[in-house]
Structure 1
Amino acid sequence: MRPHVRRRTAAALAVLVTLVAGLAFAGCGRGLPAAAWASGCAPAWTAAWHAAQQAVPGDQLAGRTLRMVVRPQASGDPVRLRLSNRHGDGPLHLGAVALARAPGEVPRPVHTGGRPDVVLPPGAEVMTDPLPVPVDAGVLVTVSLFLTEVPETVSSHPVAMRTAWLSGAGDRTGTPGPVGFGTTLQSWPVLAGLEVHAPRPRGGLLVIGDSLVDGVGSTPDRDDRLTDQIAARFDPAAGDRGVTVLNAGLSRNRLLQDDPPGAGDAPLTRFDTDVTGVAGVRDVLLLAGTNDLAAGAGPDELIAGIQAFAQRARASGLRVFLTTIPPAAAGEHGTRATAAARDRVNAWLRADGPRYADGVVDAATALADPGDPRRLRPEYDSGDGLHPSAAGYRAVAAVTPVEELSGTPCTE
């Protein structure tokens, strides 16, 4: 460990407590069998899109309409939205909510509790009433929110890698075109999820972690993050195994420490909301640790945190996959001390990770420059020495064992 003093947050202590409490799960083999989840093939609500939330300033949102675009990963009818004020420091009042399935389509009003408006107290989330329109996997959906009253701090996903628009003053949720939306954003405020009533149950793979999960380095508006690249490996023409790939990344996120203003809550802190609270999730993949090592965490400390996360996932009845930490040459991520700690963690993941997980994805080997394994391969480097390019994310998706994922629990 580095000599400087680091504060341990409640999240870091919880990691170690969970480790001690969960030692009985070490080496217990695979997670619960698919039969434990199977409940027939009746239609069921499933998450088709997810966005992890953290606290951000709510400046300049009040009195304006926010329009966001998301790509669902599952088909169904009807559809409903998860709206969040989880990190808000005051009430959030939405005067109107609307959804459109295609550019230029007239948005349909979305009600909550039978009303067109909704007030979310601080810390609250709400699911809207079902809207009877079909949503298709892979087809963009537009969601518009008229933000009547906004607290100083709001819940948002600040790095969307997808353009959103903000109008001038007034309610434009019913306007089909771009007129009046003069400001662009690269975030998803308030909108935390989209669920569809699917014709048959699906099995969700939720990928959780830092900016490498968030998709930094991928192409804005092209949906070529790691989660998109994993989803692209399923060919419906060859028989879709019923897997929905969901993204719970937060840029700058750490596994061992909460950082609400800058990097959001650690994965264990937000586990109930961003993992078990997401409908249909059966598998979880953890890609985290690079920010912990850059901040001075020791390899043994990080290994303990990875073990604790895996044990928490298995204790929740999920199958869990772990990922080696990719090489990096940027700032504190690229120092000799950080590289040595990363090598030690990765060696443990390759050798002992299968005792705790249902699979280990060797992202480090997939991305490393053969001539200098402590750097990203040039064609896989987005340009900052830390984040993969779209091609790099595709390389990691290619070594992800999609054939090992649970898939649909439907047994018919």
Structure 2
Amino acid sequence: MIEFGRRWGAGWLPSALAVLVALTGAIGIAVATNESYLPVTTPAGACRPTWVTGWQAAAQPGPAQPGLAGTTVRMVVHPRVTGSEVRLRLSNLYGTTPLAVGAVTAARSDGAAGLILGTARPVPFDGRQAVVIRPGGEVMSDAVPLVAEAGSPLAVSLFLPVVPQVITQHWAMQAAYLSGGGDATFGGATAFGPQTPSSVVLTGIDVRAPRPVNSVVAVGDSITDGMGAMPGQSWPDVLGGRLVEAGGVTTMAVLGAGISGNRLLADSGPQNGDVPLARFDRDVSAAGGATDIVLSIGTNDIAAGRSAADIAAGLQAFAERARAAGKRVFLTTVTPSGTGAHGTPAAVAARQELNAWVREHGAAYADGVFDFAAAVADPAHPTRLAPAFDAGDGLHLSAAGYGALAAAVDPALLTGSPCLAGNPPARAVVSGR
């Protein structure tokens, strides 16, 4: 049995992001403490137009793709907030040399590399169409008059004349396309080649919403990132669609902060991103409207030989950090696996011990627990995934499996968006289709 004393400290205060810009031309168990049910109130006058984060991707370093320099990369993303303007966040967090971005556009997308006629907009930075991002820096664009509609695709196109050897990116099941060369930021689908699975430089999109929309940040590893399924089928994507369709106060954006290979306790290599505590400020605190966090992580720590006690202590530390920052935080059990280092007898035993601790004690440190393991386990062999939920490798989930995880999250425990009480699901009036 794992035992810990409850340790409530002042936590860490979120640090401001330093940016220097040079411009150029299925079934789950939900357990909550009493604090989860405290009524959420909205100060008078707070329900006014505001900027909220509608989409984001957790940053990780990686080598620049061959042929990337001198081309345009077009990324297709699905914001979870409806509004009349957008702002883009670009990052050179892991670059060791300046990153020049020659031109940027944002447009409504046909779901692939094509743009909806008449919707493409230039994206300026302090009034200019080009920007240089210092090593380790991020920049936010000026506001762009482009309607974003929750769940509908947007295309962001970046012309990258020169790129560093190491570029900030996110490997995910997400549509991105490379042009044949040159500035194709306003170009049609014929200017772009086959789909590539990595987004680069773009780490967030803010949307100016008519009323505040709160968000849930899903922090985790490849299970949170949706590995094994198609784009739009991860559990954060499914949950986000569910909360938007519910409408009214239940509406929340769900922001992805999963990184394949990520660990809770120790950096497993630079390609697998920083540990959740190290990226808390940029993935959670910097997300406009973020009120809730679901932390679902630990399978890679178990495979690396970390003990259940160590992982439980890490979950507790993250929960303390989140609550010190004024966020509502939820823990999950670790989904089963019978493959490789994730399925050894020692790994199975550690996972069972950790999950027992989360179920019994997790709500003492967090605002509730979602039992992801129970939602997707094979009833006949609980240490393995149910066949219908297995993507085929014994670790990652199918679309049905991710749907089961999303169903294990009880919206009644989440903060919701009080300013939307009594309102139907948002629908944007879109011109220029």
TM-score (norm 1): 0.90
Question: Quick one: which amino acid aligns to residue 236 of structure 2?
Answer: T
Report the secondary structure of 2:233's partner residue. Answer: coil
Select the residue among 147, 151, 155 that pairs with 1:134: 147
Distance 1:119 1:33, change over 3 A: farther
Query: SS at 1:30's partner residue?
Result: helix
Per-residue Cα deviation, 1:77-109 (whole angstroms, up to 9, x for no partner)? 111111011111111000000011133335211
Say which of 95, 107, 119 aligns to 1:100: 107
Alpha-carbon distance in 2 for matches of 1:189, 1:33: 40
**Aligned match for 1:358, one of 367, 371, 376:** 367
Distance 2:97 2:7 in 1: 35
Q: 1:48: Cα distance to partner? A: 0.5
Query: Are 1:109 and 2:122 matched, yes or no?
Result: yes
Q: Is the 8 A contact 2:99 2:162 kept in 1?
A: yes
CA, structure 1 residues 269+235, in 2 after alignment: closer, same or farther (shift >3 Å)? Answer: closer
Mapping for residues 4-43 of structure 1, pairs under 5 Å? 21=9, 30=35, 34-35=40-41, 40-43=46-49
Asked whether 1:397 is paired with 2:406, we answer yes
Deviations 1:322-353 (A, max 9, x none): 10001001100000000000000000000001
Q: Which residue of 2 aligns with 1:45?
A: 51
> 5 Å matches for 1:127-276?
127-159=140-172, 161-175=173-187, 177-219=188-230, 221=231, 223-234=232-243, 236=245, 239=248, 241-276=250-285
Choose from 74, 78, 92 the match for 1:67: 74
- 1:404 offset after TM fit, Å? 1.2
What SS is found at the alignment partner of 1:145?
strand
Q: Which amino acid aligns with 1:101?
A: R
One-letter code of the match for 1:30?
E
Q: Report the CA distance shift for 1:190/1:37 in structure 2 as closer, same or farther (over 3 A).
A: farther
**Deviates further, 57-66 or 308-317:** 57-66
CA contact (8 A) 2:91 2:138 kept: yes
**C-alpha distance in 2, partners of 1:343/1:170?**
53
Query: Contact (CA 8 Å) 1:30, 1:319: kept in 2 or not?
Result: no
What do the CA deviations read for 1:172-203 (whole angstroms, capped 9, x no partner)?
0011x222212431011101011100000011
Compared with structure 1, are the counterparts of its residues 309 and 109 closer, same or farther at alpha carbon in structure 2 (3 Å cutoff)? same
Q: For each residue in 1:364-399, what CA deviation from the matched residue of structure 2 results, as whole angstroms up to 9, or x when unmatched?
A: 011110111000000000100001111011111112
SS in 1 for 2:270: coil
In the superposition, relative to structure 1, how do residues 298 and 142 fare at CA in structure 2: closer, same or farther (>3 Å)?
Answer: same
Aligned CA distance change for structure 1 residues 257 and 37 (closer, same or farther; 3 Å): farther
Q: Please tell me the residue identity of whatever aligns with 1:129.
A: D
Structure 2 partner of 1:6: none
Aligned-CA RMSD value = 2.2
Aligned residue in 1 for 2:426: none
Q: What is the count of residue pairs matched by the alignment?
A: 389
Q: Secondary structure at the match of 2:264?
A: coil
Q: What residue in structure 1 maps to residue 307 of structure 2?
A: 298
Worse-superposed segment, 33-42 or 297-306: 33-42
The alpha-carbon distance between structure 1 residues 341 and 39, as it changes in their structure 2 partners (threshold 3 A), is farther
Letter aligned with residue 122 of structure 1:
P
Unaligned runs of 5+ in 2: 12-31, 422-433
Question: CA distance change for structure 1 residues 121 and 299 in 2, over 3 Å: closer, same or farther?
Answer: same
Cα contact 2:390–2:396 (8 A) shared by 1: yes
Give the 3 Å change call, closer, same or farther, for CA 238–52 of structure 1 in structure 2.
closer
Answer whether contact 1:39 1:410 (CA < 8 A) is retained. no
In the superposition, the TM-score normalised over structure 2's length comes to 0.86
Given residue 47 of structure 2, which amino acid in structure 1 is its aligned partner?
C
Residue 190 of structure 1 aligns with an amino acid whose one-letter code is: V
Asked if 2 retains the 8 angstrom alpha-carbon contact of 1:53 and 1:156, the reply is yes
Structure 1 residues 198, 20: CA separation in 2 closer, same or farther (over 3 Å shift)?
A: closer
Q: Which amino acid aligns with 1:64?
A: T
CA–CA distance in structure 1, aligned partners of residues 245 and 73 of structure 2: 33
The 1:121–1:289 alpha-carbon spacing in structure 2 relative to 1, beyond 3 Å, is same
Q: Distance in 1 between matches of 2:168 and 2:136?
A: 9
Determine the structure 1 residue equivalent to 2:385: 376
Instruction: Identify the residue that residue 56 of structure 1 maps to in structure 2.
Output: 62
Task: Give 3-state SS (helix, strand or coil) of 1:61's partner.
Answer: coil
